[in-house]
Chain A
Amino acid sequence: MRLMLERRPEQSRTMTVGSPLIAVAITVAAAGIVFHARGLDPFHALYVYFVEPVMSVWSLEELVVKTAPLVLIGVGLAVCFRANLWNIGAEGQLTAGAITGAAIPILAPEWQSPFALPLMLLAGIAGGAAWAAVPAFLRNRFGVNEILTSLMLVYVAQYLLDWLVRGPWRDPHGYNFPESASFEGWHVLPTLGDGRVHLGAALAVVAVVVLFVFMSRTLKGFEIRVSGEAPRAGGFGGFSRPRTVWFCFALSGGLAGLAGICEAAGPIGQLQPIISPGYGFTAIIVAFLGRLNPIVVLLAGVVLGISYLGGEAAQVELGISDKTAQVFQGTLLFLILACDTLIRYRIRVGRRDDAASAQA
């Protein structure tokens, strides 16, 4: 007897839904074994890891805070990736958005007006979109690979921020430490509850809904999908590939920039040399886990958020190291991608002869 993978005639709808569930189940089982091997009660450990993060108001709020930027960036990237365009530089666009948005409170701290905050958000979007426009321009004009240019611009943006907070934008009362003055009044996002959940979370949900409708119900959304799956067909249909490139980069960059200014004017409340724990890169995973579908991206962002919070909870309550938490995340992502095989293939149990006759 042997196990064989057999190509399905078409993608399995059951497995599209089922494969992530199978992956989660295997991850949980694997984690249980790891915890048991470490001498911990696997059920308690799994509870701490997966259930506790959603069991109290405080941790739910923290989950929202952690998830909001991932989703905001992830939905933009999902549209971009749908069009077969590889914007890997969301981290840089996030940073650029934080810089342009924060220019208002830093350069005009005394300008306190209800218009300040919307203007900051718009400036953040514009900054992120402008940063993403560079790879779009280079690709359209010179055919430069956008993966490389968008990635390289991440470092440029990070060093620009670094220079600003160590130099011209440094807090004059901060003992020369590298950070800007704290934002005050109208320059800070309104918050809910314990004071950590901010407007960015609402914006993320709005982005998800708008992009879902956009991708599934509008001509432009159709154009993007066609442009990704069959660019030649799109060309015959009168769809302009360069215009799609501009649009997708501006959209994903703008959303990343919005996430950036929301972080700076929300949980952080100032500019620091580092304002993102890699949200722009993690959002790539979120986009793929979310099947490049805006609604599912939202769910994927929550799952990833839980795994971060659970990892921290496990460190505190179980005394396991950060490494175990990372192994866990890695296992989850690996298995989700591996289980995707089941969408295109099915597993057959049988002898070689069976396979041969099946193929014939």
Chain B
Amino acid sequence: MTKRFAFAAGLALALMSATASGADKLKVGFIYVGPIGDHGWTYQHDVGRLAIEEEFGDQVETVYVENIAEGPDAERAITRLARDGAGLIFTTSFGFMDPTIKVAERFPDVKFEHATGYKRADNVSTYSARFYEGRYVIGQIAARVSKSGVAGYIASFPIPEVVRGINAFMLGAQSINPDFKVKVVWVSTWFDPGKEADAAKVLIGQGADIITQHTDSTAPLQIAADLGVVGFGQASDMIAFAPDSQLTAIIDNWAPYYVARAKAALDGTWESVDVWDGMAPGMVEMAPYTNLPDDVVAMAKETEARITSGEFHPFSGPIYKQDGTMAIGEGEVLDDGTLLGMNWYVQGIDDKLPQ
């Protein structure tokens, strides 16, 4: 009896899910530039994908292709997802910009979301996060805890995103200690534990007692731990790799945005937007503050709250460029256009920007 009931119930459920998977089921595709791994840029996008699955269950199906190089392979991978019936596709690296636009032209009914780019269309949105807000906070922390007054910054490529991060970090540090120094090493890679580790050693050797990075591996933080200095995690909470050395981490939290966009696609309310969100909606998050004195934690939390409430903008004037000219004066804030194309250092950075 019970058995038969269970069977009937199972059958009914199966039928229901079959109807649900008919026209309404949304397939959401993701293109990743790297392997998913267990921390870093691509991992955080995958967390967003899983959040969509969690939120909508049977209403959605997600697929992904990982480790797609920016270049001739990208267009094919995106086309494959569109042909495979994906209705919403997230292309999660800057270099996928032109391929996304090209594929979107051929699939006008498919909705595309491109991360960190600037080209849009009726069916292509762009989204990015104001990571510089987090950089400002860690800059302040660095200036408070550093004894030598020198931080080492491991940078990937001199694109506006990275330059903006260095400047925000420096402005945060200067708000505490106007004489603070930042030394920069460019490693020309987003992920190369060996190079990143070497860069960290060089920077520590030059007197930096705090390390921060705009690269994806945990190597700099581990080197910092080995050599008895401190640092910050990047993209993901990396506390497991340096339990006594990570002060906090800037976390890329795409999940709320991804869930909202999938919901819009399901509701039929999706339209092309240009989103650049920061701490306020939670797209940029700070990992728990650890290995820090209480007063520094309080300061960091206060800055975080002021940025979240919109009371304070990290790029508030007066700001001077490296050559001493004034970028903006007292009481002004750098506009988004300038921030998006930023290719100059603020005053005090001990490096020449590669041009």
Contacts and interface: CB of A to CB of B under 8 A. Distances in A.
A111 interface: no
A167 interface: yes
B80 A277 contact: no
Contact of A263 (B69, B72, B76): B72
B70 A272 contact: yes
B163 to A, nearest CB: 8
Interface in A308-332: 309, 312-313, 315-317, 319, 321-323
A338 B95 CA distance: 39
Interface in B28-84: 29, 35-36, 63-67, 69-73, 75-77, 79-81, 83-84
B224 to A, nearest CB: 28
A322 B75 contact: no
Nearest to A167: B355
B191 interface: no
A176 B159 contact: yes
Nearest to B163: A176
Q: Chain B: interface residue count, which band?
A: 35 or more
A309 to B, nearest CB: 8
B274 interface: no
B71 A62 contact: no
B84 A316 contact: yes
Given A277-B69, A312-B65, A313-B80, A272 B95 contact: yes
A42 interface: no
Interface string A143-172: 000000000000000010010001100000
Contacts of A275: 71-72
A176 B343 contact: yes
A11 to B, nearest CB: 38
B66 A316 contact: no
Interface residues of A, number: 37
Contacts of A58: 79, 83
Interface string A59-89: 0001001100000000000000000000000
A58 B103 CA distance: 13
Interface in A88-136: none
B77 A312 contact: yes
B80 A274 contact: no
Contacts of B36: 321
Specify which of B75, B158, B343 lies most central, judged by the most chain A CB atoms within 10 Å of its CB: B75
Contacts of B29: 316
A313 B29 CA distance: 13
Contacts of A267: 72, 75
Contacts of B76: 62, 65-66, 196, 309, 312
A276 interface: yes
Specify which of A182, A267, A319 lies most central, judged by the most chain B CB atoms within 10 Å of its CB: A267
Interface in B274-292: none
A270 interface: yes
B274 to A, nearest CB: 13
Contacts of A65: 72, 76
Nearest to B354: A166
Interface string B77-119: 1011101100000000011001000000010000000000010
B160 A175 contact: yes
A178 B118 CA distance: 13
A321 B68 CA distance: 12
Contacts of A178: 157, 159
Contact of B71 (A177, A182, A194, A277): A277
Interface string A277-308: 10000000000000000000000000000000
Interface string A320-360: 01110000000000000000000000000000000000000
Q: Please provide the 6 A-B residue pairs with the shortest distance between their CB atoms, ordered closest to farther.
A: A267-B72, A277-B69, A322-B67, A176-B343, A175-B341, A322-B66
Given A162-B188, A312-B76, A315-B66, 11 more contacts: A166-B157, A166-B355, A176-B159, A176-B343, A266-B72, A272-B70, A274-B69, A274-B71, A277-B69, A309-B76, A313-B80
30 contacts: A58-B79, A65-B72, A66-B73, A66-B76, A162-B188, A166-B158, A175-B160, A175-B340, A175-B341, A176-B159, A177-B94, A178-B157, A196-B75, A263-B72, A267-B75, A268-B71, A272-B71, A273-B157, A274-B69, A275-B72, A276-B72, A277-B73, A312-B65, A312-B80, A316-B63, A316-B65, A322-B65, A322-B66, A322-B67, A323-B35
Interface of A: 58, 62, 65-66, 159, 162, 166-167, 175-178, 182, 194, 196, 263, 266-270, 272-277, 309, 312-313, 315-317, 319, 321-323
